[in-house]
Amino acid sequence: MQYSAKVMDHFTNPRNVGEIEGASGVGTVGNAKCGDIMRIYLNIDDNNIIRDVKFKTFGCGAAVATSSMATELIKGKSINEALKLTNKSVMEALDGLPPIKVHCSLLAEEAVHAALWDYAEKKGIKIEGLKPPVSDIDEHEHGHDHDNDIPMI
């Protein structure tokens, strides 16, 4: 499998790894098929700007690289700009992913959206265009069967 130099760079030297104590929003998503998990922490200021972002990913190399790139792409951006982050934009920024690894990049998009959703819930606000997280792994603890939640691409 051929990875781009950028993927290798973000995999071997991931940016913004860690957690944020008392973060404004935290999003945790998982892929039920491979079992990989990604968590993103956001610190958002009163002007809706993402001042800091950190991530923890228990997953494959592509998942680590896409989380790293996703954090770089949304750092210092507004909520609305972060909302526009898609797995495609993350993949483009990484100069592509092998086709069987495309689903890994979905986790990055979903984790950012889940963290924004958490922020909105904590603040009691509604973020226009933001949908509830599709793969909130916390729900697994309540006995739901989420096996079919995440389409594998």
Q: Taking the complex as a whole, how short is the minimal distance between the CB of residue 59 and ligand FES, in angstroms?
A: 4
**23 versus 104: smaller Cβ distance to ligand FES:** 104
Query: Which residue out of 32, 34, 49, 134 is catalytically annotated?
Result: 34
Of 16, 24, 31, 68, the residue at the interface with ligand FES (CB under 6 A) is: 31
Q: Taking the complex as a whole, how short is the minimal distance between the CB of residue 29 and ligand FES, in angstroms?
A: 10
**54 versus 103: smaller Cβ distance to ligand FES:** 103
Residue type, 89: S
One character per residue 130-149, x = contact with ligand FES (rule: CB under 6 A): --------------------
3 state SS for the chain:
CCCCHHHHHHHHCCCCECCCCCCCEEEEEECCCCCCEEEEEEEECCCCEEEEEEEEEECCHHHHHHHHHHHHHHCCCEHHHHHCCCHHHHHHHCCCCCHHHHHHHHHHHHHHHHHHHHHHHHHCCCCCCCCCCCCEHHHHHHCCCCCCCCCCC
How many residues sit close enough to ligand FES to count as binding (CB under 6 A)? 9
Let me know the angle formed at the C-alpha of 37 by 56 and 11, rounded to the nearest 5 degrees: 55
**Catalytic residue status for 104:** yes
Name which of residues 103 to 132 contact ligand FES (CB under 6 A): 104, 107
Catalytic residues, by residue number, are: 34, 104
Which positions lie near ligand FES, rule CB under 6 A?
31, 34, 36, 59-60, 62-63, 104, 107
